Amino acid sequence: MPPSPEAPRPPDERRHRFESVYAAHRARILGYALRRTADPQDAADVLAETFLIAWRRLDDVPPGDAAKPWLYGVARRVLANHHRGERRRSALVGDLAGRLRTDLAAHRPAAPEGDLAAIAAAFGELSDDDRELLALVGWEGLDRAEIAAVLGCSRNAVRIRLHRARRRLARALDRHEAPVPHAHALPAAAINGERA
């Protein structure tokens, strides 16, 4: 049952709730940010600011699984601000950014080659909106209802936009003659049963 926003939580309960939300979602929010910015400092800021907002608005954080799209929605707005140049260096981040920078150097794969490069190129041609929608599915693993919550639109709108985004990616893959990996061998444009 959702908590009443009017009912103040005892401090301990509040901390516990925050800690459980944080533990459950911190890696995926960091992952979300890292997948969308090359700058570990930005990613660290997005992580810190997203959970700072969650802490401050804990009563607004939906219970259970619904917390996930709520957090992605917050992270999305925080990240958008960074991309708009409204950089807010959060001191909360501490040395996290520095550590991420060092550690990421070891983790981040080189530029994609071959098949992956073609897929990435086709993906890169899509509009920001299309890419984000496809990424929310392919990278974040969200379902339509969750995406609707992240983007603040209806499920039906998500369904339609997702359909179109997939079709546009399929066409772009065709243009790039992206050799679709053997494991899922299928002509890109055939995915939606049509030729561009």
Report the site for other proteins in 89-108 (rule: CB under 8 A): 89-94, 96, 99-100, 103-104, 107-108
Q: Which residues contact 71 (CB under 8 A, 6 or more apart)?
A: 21, 25, 29, 50, 54, 61
Q: Does 61 bind other proteins (CB under 8 A)?
A: no
Report the site for other proteins in 146-165 (rule: CB under 8 A): 162
Q: How many residues in the shown chain lie near other proteins by CB under 8 A?
A: 90
Report the site for other proteins in 25-44 (rule: CB under 8 A): 26-28, 30-31, 34-39, 42
- Interacting stretch for other proteins, rule CB under 8 A, among 1-9, 61-69, 143-151? 1-9
Least Cβ distance, residue 57 to other proteins (angstroms): 9
Q: Does 67 bind other proteins (CB under 8 A)?
A: no
- Interacting stretch for other proteins, rule CB under 8 A, among 9-17, 61-69, 143-151? 9-17
Which of 151, 169, 171, 176 is the binder for other proteins (CB under 8 A)? 169
Q: Does 15 bind other proteins (CB under 8 A)?
A: yes
> How many helices (H) does the chain have, and how many strands (E)?
8, 0
155 φ/ψ angles, rounded to the nearest 5 degrees:
-60, -35
Residues 157 and 129 sit within 8 Å (Cβ to Cβ): no
27-31 — which CB contacts under 8 Å span 24+ positions?
A: 28/68, 28/140, 29/71, 29/72, 29/75, 31/139
Least Cβ distance, residue 116 to other proteins (angstroms): 6
